[in-house]
Amino acid sequence: MKKILLVSIAVLSLLVVSGCGNENKPKYQNLKEEKIQTNTNSDVIGDQEINGIKLSNASVVYEDNQSTLTITVTNVSDLVIVVDSVLAKYTYADGTTSVLSILVDSPLVPSQKLDAVSSTAADITKAVKVEYEIVYSKN
């Protein structure tokens, strides 16, 4: 009886150690291929200067049904400029437009740079040009 018990324990130990009975199937996730689009049109991502504010390093990325604009706002004047926001008006080939508000809400001292980010559901990677408008704080 002891032999049967010892053999059973040995076999059971071997099964536990070897992982027998454990389905070690690879875990595949059925992910759809993500499509990330960018806009590289120089009329959309090119630098612009408006009344002492330089807008540069624009990046437009469309992912997961959302466009994200990242832009550097720089005070290139000799004055402190209090910027509330920047409005970006995107124009498409068919003449339609989208407007995106980029919150800055900061006084910018001369030479100060600030990275600003804003998002929209519109696919602005298809835009052919952009016009910026600086909205100054009323304080």
In order of their start, the domains of the chain are: 37-136 (2.60.40.1620)
64: left (phi over 0), alpha (psi -120 to 50) or beta: left
| Contact between 74 and 56 (Cβ < 8 Å) | yes
Q: Buried b vs exposed e over 2-22: b needs ≥16 C-beta within 10 Å?
A: eeeeeeeeeeeeeeeeeeeee
- Quick check: pTM over 0.75? no
pLDDT bracket for residue 15 (50, 70, 90) = low
Question: For residues 129 and 139, what is the distance between their CA atoms, to the nearest angstrom?
Answer: 32
Is the pLDDT reported for residue 30 higher than 50? no
pLDDT in tens, 71-95: 999 999 999 999 999 999 999 999 9
- pLDDT confidence of residue 97: 94
pLDDT for 56-74, tens place per residue? 999 999 998 999 999 999 9
- The mean per-residue pLDDT over the stretch 16-33 comes to 55
Per-residue b/e over 32-53, b at no fewer than 16 CB within 10 Å? eeeeeeebeeeebbeeeeeebb
